[in-house]
Amino acid sequence: MANAQTNGQFNGVLTYTDNFDIGNISGKVVTIISESDGKGRIDSKSYPGKSPTNNPAEKDQDILLYDFSKRQKTTLVAKLKRASVQSLAVESQRYQQIMESEGETISIENLGPEKIGPFNCTHFVISMISTKMKMPANAPKKNIWITKDLGSSNIWYVGPYLYYISGSFQQQKLVEAGATGIIVKWHYGSDEATLTDHVQRTVPSSTFDIPSGYATTSY
């Protein structure tokens, strides 16, 4: 494990491990976030322990590529050899429209500093509250712990296959509440993931390229 600089943009590789046990499904998800020179990549692989045959939880997430200067996300669908390019601005706008139609708002609570392993973190609680809910106090909550010790990341891993991207509506709400840095841990329901490795280095530019032979579509 190598420490990154204590301020500025993080360039390197972050590895998270999520050991889950939900009903008759258990296993481990390892998520690797690579960032370098304004680009990012997410690889998330599932290692099921017990699970019904062909359960979706056994399948790996499609690889996600990001170009932050162009504000683009590319989803690599390996089985179809297809690269789907999407505007991050459009994605964020669509999320806000869905929230408005559902009467939802984001509530963020800053619970203050906490130590997670060697990291000095700030603990935040994220709640999605809907005007249509009879009991808003029971709204689903995500807990995240974020540190400035490693610099800042453009990709915040905040829940199962859930990422807040720099400049997105959700990420900006957290920034307004005082969040900045790199996610060290998240907890949602019975699911929890922690940062298990971090290496500061220059990631080869080819890591963020669309593989040859892939058809590219934009939407």
pTM over cut 0.85: yes
Tokens of 211: 């593989």
- 12-218 maps to which CATH number? 2.50.20
Pair 198, 12: CB distance under 8 Å: yes
The pLDDT assigned to 128 comes to: 80
The pLDDT assigned to 138 comes to: 60
Burial 36-72 (b: 16+ CB within 10 A, else e): beebbbbbbebebeebeeeeeeeeeebbbbbebeebb
Nearest to 7 by CA among 218, 219, 180: 180
Q: DSSP 3-state assignment of 38?
A: coil
Pair 183, 51: CB distance under 8 Å: no
The pLDDT assigned to 174 comes to: 94
pLDDT per residue rounded down to tens, the chain (219 residues): 444 444 689 999 999 999 887 777 778 899 999 999 999 999 999 887 765 555 544 567 899 999 999 999 999 999 999 999 999 988 888 888 887 777 778 889 999 999 999 999 999 999 887 766 555 556 668 999 999 999 999 999 999 899 999 989 889 999 999 999 999 999 988 889 999 999 999 999 999 999 999 999 997
HSE at residue 194, side-chain half, CA atoms within 13 A, is: 8
Return d(Cα 153, Cα 36) in angstroms, integer: 10
The pLDDT assigned to 5 comes to: 45
The pLDDT assigned to 113 comes to: 97
Return d(Cα 61, Cα 44) in angstroms, integer: 6
